[in-house]
Amino acid sequence: MKKLFLALLMMFILLGCKTVYIPVEKKVTVKETVRDTIVDVQIEREYVKQAIPDTTSTVETKYAKSTAIWHGDSETLEHIIENKPDSISIRVQFVDREVEVEKPAPYPVEVEVPVDRPIRMPLRWYEHILQYLGMAALGGGVLWVVARFKSR
């Protein structure tokens, strides 16, 4: 009887341990936006010429202003050129692209988000029978221990 009880106990212990494999794979998706902005501005050529009998001459283009002053007593010519504070509007073309890279992660995987619980499969017919036999064996063992202590 003892050997049969130990054999049944070992059988239930070995059949009751069941591991569940949950496959975990981590895919890394990298979205990269690259913007290349290269601006080539071709300023249109402007030519302005002015001849006047005065000691001061001022000429102006779209982008700059120039003033030349003749100092007759010191016999020097002072020339001042400055850019206008206006902005130049240009059209810019840029390239916009997305790159997606998917890599399987090496094991072991550290999961950053909680993994959903797997859906339990229903028990097969022989697993139901083994479950009921196990409950009966546990109940019988408890009754046997209680009867053993009562008989003393």
pLDDT (tens place) for every residue of the chain, 152 residues total: 888 888 888 888 777 766 666 555 555 555 556 555 666 667 778 888 888 888 888 888 888 888 888 888 888 888 888 887 777 766 666 655 666 666 565 556 565 777 678 888 899 999 999 999 999 999 999 999 999 888 87
pLDDT at position 26? 52
Residue from 116, 152, 133 nearest 15 by CA: 133
Tokens of 63: 């982008």
Taking a C-beta distance cutoff of 8 angstroms, is the pair 63, 87 a contact? no
- Could you give the 3-state DSSP secondary structure of residue 97? strand
pLDDT at position 28? 53
pLDDT at position 74? 84
pLDDT at position 118? 80
Q: Which domain holds residue 134?
A: 2-151
Tokens of 92: 């810019």
Taking a C-beta distance cutoff of 8 angstroms, is the pair 84, 23 a contact? no
Tokens of 122: 């229903």
Chain centroid to CA 150 = 68
pLDDT at position 29? 56
pLDDT at position 8? 85
Number of domains in the chain: 1
**What single string gives the DSSP state of each residue in 29-78?**
---EEEEEE-----PPP-------SSSEEEEE-SSEEEEEEEETTTTEEE
